[in-house]
Chain A
């Protein structure tokens, strides 16, 4: 019975040797974290120089350019905001593009229908609300498939991609649905002191989403689930409920994107979000998220969406053939992932455990 009562003095801990405060490593980490903003700054400088030499005109100081880039970035950004949450959790949502198209068609129909009965501004709100709510339905189905029936997110949302696409075209009758509502048109094209209303709405929305991801339990659990779903479950987090809410949230982001699309073009089109799905994934990845889950930020995604918009708009502005856009965006995605890999290797390489 030598060792039962008061414990023998524990052998002293050696001070933790591996606190990894090494400055070179944290510098690389910081560059990797902010890489999307660095890309953005680099691109803007390139286009500015190019534009001055080629045309003697400014690129970035031209308010029209800034407005156009911001408007350009909104739809992919809204999809990418929802996608950021999903990708951080370790999933992916392929249905967002056509949920956006579905929402755009619903927004157009609902605004027109409501406009016959109630004042135009209310009809506009009803249309936006209807779009966001209807978008939630495929989100619920995605969430149930993935959380209850254990369908892999890639497959479940790919199925929903097809379903939403079909429903959107059916609702639209195979064509675009024009909106007869002057308020809706004003929302989509009006400006306040040079700032388009759409940009203001997107900015407020992004701030709310940033808050949700970085400051709430929902956001915190999202990161934990993406890193180690087993650990999250053992910590008592309701994984199923979380996943369900997550896919509803991302679908509703796409729903808002669809409503704003309908406002901008005063028409709903089923194919509204078709080219934007991969842009949204690209924006999230350029913004610093890992497709393996567990990392990413809304602010990074904002930068990622702006990078894509600047490339697309900037190449048109300096009069390069538009096909170069695809190449440029592709190269940026690859560079971004390479930086991410390098940073992982540097930060201890324990991610595989």
Chain B
């Protein structure tokens, strides 16, 4: 039953610290994410969640501690390096170009080219649309008009496009920062079910949310941060809302 508990972690963080001058945004923090596991990070504003994911995704370098990917220590100078190693961050403000199609968004910055008339390099829109359709289908997400700009889609659908981009580029670890924050309730459900899909595909997900309902709906474990330190770690099946809230506020 608990196969994932024994599987070697995809991502491991050991004794990670990040100080900004005298401010200890994160101290001596450790966690692991195994394949097919959703780990929720919870905590009040300023608890260090964002610092943690920025350190993992290469936005800034930790002051101390180490990050291991598949057992190997890694250090990322830029978010691009982290992405190349399979760590994709999905931001709450949707990092999509609204005027471009799903395919163009998935391939943004890495567009495939083909030769028109045998010599003229042009964007391979067909390949982008095909790959996009294929990817969205893997997320059980069916879109008929592949060349419509993503501004035509709803918030949940666009969140799906952002997730689709990570899936297409084969991210093994997805960091999702408040993926449901800007969405209505049906849209939130869609995103939750997308996270279940990612889990089924054996990817690791770090899920940051203020919404305990969402956390309990989708996570395997929850780690609570408070003032830059780990305040507690619980299996979702062995805890409840009250206990998590107590951990968050330090009751």
Contact = CB atoms under 8 A, between A and B. Distances in A.
B145 A7 contact: no
Given A7-B36, A10-B193, A236 B110 contact: yes
Given A16-B142, A220-B111, A348-B151, A231 B96 contact: yes
A16 B109 contact: no
A234 B142 contact: no
B181 interface: no
B86 interface: no
Contacts of A217: 111, 113, 123
B133 to A, nearest CB: 13
A1 interface: yes
B108 A224 contact: yes
A5 B220 CA distance: 10
B2 interface: yes
Interface in A1-55: 1-8, 10-21
B105 to A, nearest CB: 8
B3 A16 contact: no
Interface string B178-201: 000000001001101110110110
Interface residues of B, number: 56
Nearest to A214: B123
B154 A351 contact: no
B152 A8 contact: no
Contacts of B148: 19-20
Contacts of B95: 228, 230-231, 234-235
A294 interface: yes
A20 B152 contact: yes
Contacts of A295: 99
B200 A18 contact: no
Interface string B102-124: 00100011110100100011110
Contact of A16 (B94, B104, B153, B237): B153
Interface string B64-90: 000000000000000110010000000
Interface string A255-287: 000000000000000000000000000000000
Contacts, number: 146
Contacts of B237: 1-3
A246 B37 CA distance: 44
B111 A1 contact: no
Contact of A226 (B5, B99, B152): B99
A231 B97 contact: yes
Interface string A128-151: 000000000000000000000000
Contact of A223 (B91, B93, B99, B196): B99
Interface in A235-265: 235-237
Interface in A197-235: 211, 215-217, 220-221, 223-224, 226-228, 230-232, 234-235
Contact of B143 (A5, A16, A232, A353): A16
A341 interface: no
B145 A232 contact: no
A240 to B, nearest CB: 14
Given A3-B237, A5-B36, A223-B100, A13 B111 contact: no
Contacts of B199: 7
A348 B148 CA distance: 13
Contacts of A294: 97-99
Contacts of B111: 217, 220
Interface in B113-152: 113, 116, 120-123, 140-145, 148, 151-152
A18 B157 contact: yes
A168 to B, nearest CB: 36
Q: 3 smallest A-B Cβ distances: which pairs? A: A235-B109, A10-B196, A7-B200
Given A4-B37, A7-B200, A16-B142, 14 more contacts: A1-B235, A4-B2, A4-B3, A5-B3, A10-B194, A11-B193, A12-B140, A13-B193, A217-B123, A231-B94, A231-B97, A231-B108, A235-B108, A351-B151
15 contacts: A1-B1, A4-B5, A4-B220, A8-B196, A11-B192, A11-B196, A16-B141, A18-B152, A19-B148, A20-B153, A217-B111, A224-B100, A224-B104, A232-B108, A294-B99
